[in-house]
Structures are given as C-alpha cells and as structure tokens.
Structure 1
Amino acid sequence: MDTIAHVLVVITPAEGHVNPSLGLVTQLVDNGEQVVYVCTEEYRSRIEQTGALLITYPFPQDAFSHDPVLKPQEYKHPYQFTYMMVAGIIQRIIPEVLRVIENQKFDYLIFDSLMGWGGTILAEKLGIPAVCSIASFALINPLGAEEGVKELDTDTKELYEATMKITHALAQEFQVSVPCIDEIPAHAGELKLVYTSRYFQPYAEKMDNRFIFSGPSIIPRQDGQTFSFELLRERYPQTVYIAMGTILNKNLEFYQLCFEAFGDIPVNVVLSSGRYTDMEPLADQIPSNFIVMPYIAQLDMLQHTDVFITHAGMNSASEALYYNVPLVMIPLTSDQPLVANRVEELGAGITLNKHKLSAADMREALLEVLSNPSYKQQACIIGESLRQAGGYKRAAEMIMSHMASFHNKISNTKLTNK
C-alpha cells in the first residue's frame, strides 16, 4: 500500500481517551496518511491541531461527569462495565459514526477500546482491518472481574438481560452476528495499541505480539498557564503537586483535608483545583505554602514535582512516571484502583483508601514518599521503561507497516484468484 491510506479514527469523547490518541494521529498525518477523526465538538481544537479532518456527531458535553450510565463508578461485577459500554457508548455512538461517514471509504480503522464490540461493527460494516486504541492497561478480563465473579443474583441477571436486549437490537440493525456477553468488552482488532510499557502492564506475559506497547503519548500541549518554577524553589526545595483529574475535581472536602494534612509541612504544594470548581468558600483557609490554580499545564508541572498526589487515572499516573515522579494515590473509580495497585506493586507509590481518608494518613503517606528514596528509584525504573517504549512515532510506524502488508496480501490474493 504505497499510496496514501485513508484512516478512520473513532475515539470515545472523554479526555483520558482522546488525549493519548493525539500524538499518534499527528504522526500518521505527518507520515502522509489522510485521517478522518470522528468525535464531538468539545474536542475540536485539539483534534484539528493534529492535521486530521474532524467530523462531529451530537453528544452531551462532559457526559462522563453527568450521565448516570457513563458516570465513573466502582465496578463490582463485569456486567456493570459491559452494560455501560453497550448502553452508554456502543448504542449511542456507533450508529452516529456510521451516519456521519456514510458513503466514505477507508483503508483501516483505529477505534477506542471503550467501544469494544462497537469497533468490530464499524470494521465489519466498512470491510476494513482495525486497530484498538487502549487508553488504560490492556485488560484480560473486563473491569469488575477482579472482584471475583459472584453467583448471578437478581440485579446481575437483570443487567445481563438489559445488555443482551440492546446487543440483539444492534446486531439486527447492523446485520452482524450477536456476540456473547464476554466478547463485548474484549479488545478486538488486528492490532491492539497500549499507551504503556510491557514492564508497567500487568500480566504482560499473557499478551501476544498483536499488542503494541508504545508508552504514553507525551506531546507538548499549548494549553495551560505556567508560573515561575524558580520562584517555587526559592520558597522550599521540594514541591508536591495535587490534581484529581477532570471528572472528579470538584470535591471541596478533599481540598480541605489537603490544607489540614500539608499546611504546615515545609514544602511547596501546588493544587490544580479544576476550571469549573468554585474555590471561593475555601479562599480564607488556603495555607501559605499552597498555590491554588484552576488549571496548570501538567506536563510542565510534573518536571518540577517531587511527589504527585493523584486519583491514579492512567494518563496522569503515566505522565508522572514518565518524568520519574513517585505517587500518593487516592483511586476513586473505574480503572484507577488497577493503576494504583500496579504502581504500589512496583514500589513507586502509596495507595490510600478513599473511604477512610484522614489528614493524618495523607500526611504520613506524603512524608514517607518524600523521605524514602526507594519510591523515587522505582519511579525512575518505570519511567525509563515508558520512555524506551518508542511513543507515538513507533506506534504510527508499526500500524502503517502492518496495514501495508495486510493490504498487499489482500491484493496478491485477488491477483492469484483471477
């Protein structure tokens, strides 16, 4: 396939899924591919910066914070996660994508792993090979399975039935075969692109060479005010950075706990409170060693950070470790407990229980990570594995060469059969 390939990229409209894809898409465009990126209006400016053509469909802005089906939760059973995919994502997004790209032809598809079986529908309807873009760890089992699958109680049976009812309707609508429930969340596609390293990925030994581990997609973002890092170091030699992600950062009680826990430790504490968080009620409680800002350019900040206090979202944790920063983690929902467990297992951080959070525990965890050099050492080992993974340049190269050989095989088969 020496000619320019037409690539369709379909990613779930959520920060943690769109952001990791941007470096890859930029590189594919730079390498000469023509990319059509289907997403929502909310992500227009950053997608257009990649050089891709954006096609949008209607979807409520910030749905992952407000929508009852999509809102992050702790999955106690894999069927909860599968139901969220089918009812929240596949049913709402896949028909829209097929509508907005009607009559267009593509050579291959890159789709988001949260779409699961939805990516298979797209690939089948378009008759093209697909790559699954996995913005968290690759999962052998769906989220919730680590709780140990329990007997089917009434609620679980209802979830199963509700999920399969929608699945049957979609299969009929698109004239595709009905998957069994376990196939819906599985990572489909010819290749599976994971934005981490084999070292950081749990159970990586169980994953074959269709999994490409390219490390996190670290691309400079022109999107945040920065401040004088020299000024920080004049105050205190060490800096702690606190950010709880874009979906879950409006918790004022948590910020109060931070003030109480760290207000009298001789370190700089930089708190990113979130653009839409009203900090006014706490304005007179902010300790003098804190700098509170609604938004901070995280990649810049992490390069001047000694410890990162985070919800352990995959992007945030990976970006910190890429810059060798150890973590204090308070996982809240979805895949965050998995990420936190892995960081702790590899010795690069401490996990706290959000249900039993106290100022004393937070303080103790921070002081332990600040004073014990082993956390930093382990963060450096993970960081090195992430930096060596090749990033979006390697990902683009591997996808393009795989697709070229795939199309050559198809062409040769057609010639042979003539």
Structure 2
Amino acid sequence: MARVLVVITPAEGHVNPSLGLVTQLIDSGEEVVYVCVEEYRSRIEQTGALLITYPFPQDAFSHDPVLKPQEYNHPYQFIYMMVGGIIQRIIPEVFRVIGNQKFDYLIFDSLIGWGGTILAEKLGIPAVCSIASFAFVDPLGTGGGMNEQEMDTNTMELYEATMKITRELAQEYQVRLPAMEEIPAHTGRLKLVYTSRYFQPHAEKLDDRFIFTGPSIIPRQDAETFPFELLRERYPHTVYIAMGTILNKNLDFYRLCFEAFGDMPVNVVLSSGRYTDMEPLADQIPPNFIVMPYVAQLHMLQHTDVFITHAGMNSTSEALYYNVPLVMIPLTSDQPLVANRVQELGAGITLNKLNLSATDMREALLEVLSNPLYKQQACLIGESLRQSGGYKRAAEMIMSHMAVITK
C-alpha cells in the first residue's frame, strides 16, 4: 500500500474531477492524504481520504484581482495568475500543513504547475499531473488579442512581476529557477487528462505520458432530489441552463433567458447558484421555467435535450458523456477553447457573450433541438469519453506505473 499526497487547486472544476480517482485509489488499497480547503471537506472525506486544510478565501476565484476569471490575451497573463495567485499562496501552506510526513507519490493539479515540481523535488517522490481541462499544447492566451504596443508595455511588466516571485520561491526552496515557459508546463511522470483523445485538440502532438481517461463521473452523495415527474407532465423537451459556480450571478443574463425561451413549448430548468439572489426576478419567471439555486447536474443531464452553458470543461464533459448537445456562451479562461472544440466537432453552437440577444439564443436553441446532427455528434464524443475508462482506469494506470518506479 502506497501513501499518496493529493494537492488540487481549491476550485469546483478541479476538485470534482479528482474525487472518483481518489475513491478508486483508496478502494484499491492506497492511503490518500488530500490537501485542500475546508469548503470541500464533505465531498473529499466521502472518498475515504484524510483531508488536511489550509486557509484560502472561499470566494477568491470570483473576487480576487489575480485569480478571478478573465480572458487571457497573452500567455504571461495566465502564468502570472498561476505564480502570484496559486503557487505563491498554496505551496508554502502545503509544506506547513503536511509537516514531516512521508509519501510515496504525489498527484497535483495542473494549475499548480511548477509548484508541483517543487513539492515533488523537496519530498523526493514521483508525481502525476492532474489536468482538469484540455492539455495545453500551446499556453493559454496564445494567439490572443493584444496589439503590439500593448504587448510591449504589458508583457515586460508581467514577465518581471512573475519572475520576481519565481526567483523568491526558487531561492526559498533551493530549487532550479525555471524559464517562464516552464512554469505552466504539464510535468510529472504521468499526465492524467479527464477527456478522450478524440475530444482533445491536437492530441497527435502529445506523447504517451498523457493518459486520457475521460471525465470522472461519480454521483454526488449529497445530491438533492429534483421533481423529474414535473418535466414529463409538461413538454416533451427539456432545456437545462447552468453557468458554473463562479460566474452565475448575472441577473441580466437570466432576464435574457426568460425573454428568449419563456414562450417556447419546452421545459427550462435554470440552476441559478446557491449564492445568487433571484428575488428581484421572482415575478418575471415564465411558467415553463423551473428555477432552483442548485440542481444535481449529473442527474439533470440524463433528462436534458439541450444544455445551455458557459462551456466550462467539467460541465461540457458531463453533458457530452450523456450525449447532450450544447448551446455555449463562453465567458473566460479556457471556456472559448472548449466551446470552439465542441463546435468544431459539430456537437453544439457557440454564441458571442458581447452581443448576446434573446433572438440569437432562441435561434441557436431551435437549431440544436431541430437538427439531429448535433445530437449525433454529441453521441460520438460521448462514446469516446465513456470508452476512455474513467477514474478506474486512471487509478490502475497510476498504481501500476508507481509500483514499477518505486521498487
């Protein structure tokens, strides 16, 4: 039995994909120590892992100026977020809370980047990189929209700020100073990607250290029930709307949904978010809408004909796993990349958030509902995800690899 250290960025889209893997590792006899934040205690402890927490603001990814989602127009913006927002804050905390404990191997989140290399080197153990989005063939922000003057001015400032922090960390931990492009690189003996080779863009450029296992689909034990019988009593088609856990408080967007779909003969289930105050819209909700602060998404998707989403990797993968085509409104971070891939493969339509109208949304939904090609392509991607092996294959690959190299 090996003792495993798991360090994952404290965000829904990064913690959730790791839970099935951790559960399977423990069921297979490994001992797992999971370092994260208090917010995720319930679901992490349900895996059987020992949770060790450190302080981190609960709403950091919504409000922190470094961490909050943005569109990256240059790779240095993304790398600065990693170093200044994640590595600098989390790595010292991990060393503090684990003390002198010994581990056999490490699983770390790809957003921790070079921080995972620091952990592995100082602990003297091999590492696995957990990649919750697509594996980046090119850094996030490559090909963005900065003009030359902006790049000249901003890029140097970002470079200097990033490397200043990096030099301080390298000196503190007595490790080699990485080049800028090494900081976000997917390192580790294995790189675990929660998608399929078919869905991964430019998969042919990735070597066999990248293990594609599909999304980690594991039902939430704390999932709330939903009145699915209401859907069957109303209309034959159901549309599900959810914009993630970070960017779901836009009441103007919800008004637009009411305008776009309120008179259509479809069920519309809107997950508004636990911390979204919907009271100002209470008297505007159309009769064909069911609005709830939280919906058990894996259950809901199995009753959904079209998913309207921000195109976060987790949500998109879960929808496609259940063969659900999409209407996508990417907002930030890697969401445009995910949405582009879905549209490229014919499983959905992407709308521009900057000039979004009720007419555009309605027409996109009608197109996806009425054209069977979107469903067919969603099924094709879904089959590739289901055949990738999931968290059971991920655990098997990791354990067999580590058994060989730690002999």
TM-score, normalised relative to structure 2:
0.98
Distance 2:184 2:128 in 1: 15
The correspondence of residues 75-94 of structure 1 with structure 2, limited to 5 A, is 75-94=72-91
Structure 1 contact 90–118 (Cα < 8 Å) conserved: yes
Q: Distance in 1 between matches of 2:56 and 2:244?
A: 21
Pairwise CA distance, 1:263 = 0.6
The answer for the alignment partner of 1:327 in structure 2 is 326
Q: Report SS of the residue matched to 1:328.
A: strand
**Residue deviations 1:137-185, cap 9 Å, x none?**
0001221013278654111100000000000000000000100000000
Structure 2 counterpart of 1:361: 360
Partner-residue secondary structure (3-state), 2:117: helix
Distance in 1 separating the partners of 2:105 and 2:127: 6
Going from structure 1 to structure 2, the CA distance change for 1:97 and 1:407 (only over 3 Å counts) comes to same
Equivalent residue for 2:95?
98
> 129, 141, 144: which is aligned to 2:141?
144
Query: C-alpha deviations, 1:42-77, integer Å up to 9, x for none?
Result: 111111111010111111112111111000100000
Check if 1:236 corresponds to 2:240: no
The residue matched to 2:308 in structure 1 has which SS? strand
Partner SS for 2:143: helix
What amino acid maps onto 2:18 in structure 1?
S
CA RMSD in angstroms, aligned pairs only: 1.0
**Deviation at residue 228 of structure 1 after TM alignment:** 2.4
TM-score, normalised by the number of residues in structure 1: 0.96
- Aligned equivalent of 1:390: 389
**Structure 1 position 133, deviation (Å):** 0.2
2:128 corresponds in structure 1 to 131
Name the CA distance, whole Å, in 2 between partners of 1:99 and 1:229: 47
| Pair 1:294 & 2:293 matched | yes
Contact residue 40 and residue 57 of structure 1 kept, 8 A: yes
Q: What residue in structure 2 maps to residue 5 of structure 1? A: 2
1:8 corresponds to which letter in structure 2? L
Query: Structure 1 runs of 4+ off > 3 angstroms?
Result: 148-152
Number of equivalent positions = 405
In structure 1, runs of 5+ residues without a counterpart are: 409-418
Residue 378 (structure 1) shift: 0.1
Match of residue 269 from structure 2: 270
1:71 to 60, 68, 73: 68
Query: What is the rounded CA distance, in whole Å, between the counterparts of 2:274 and 2:222 in structure 1?
Result: 12
Q: Distance in 1 between matches of 2:144 and 2:64?
A: 25
User: What amino acid is the match of 1:394?
Assistant: R
Structure 2 matches for 1:248-287, cutoff 5 A? 248-287=247-286
- Give the Cα separation in 2 of the matches to 1:404 and 1:86: 32
**Counterpart for residue 377 of structure 2:** 378
**How many angstroms does 1:222 deviate by?**
2.2
Task: Show the counterpart of 1:406.
Answer: 405
Distance across 2 between alignment mates of 1:308 and 1:402: 38
Instruction: Find the residue that maps to 1:145 and give its secondary structure.
Output: coil
Over the matched positions of the two proteins, sequence identity in percent amounts to 85
SS at match of 1:147: coil
Structure 2 counterpart of 1:31, from 7, 13, 28: 28
Q: 2:39 aligns with which of 38, 42, 51?
A: 42
- What runs of 5+ residues in structure 2 fail to find an aligned partner? none
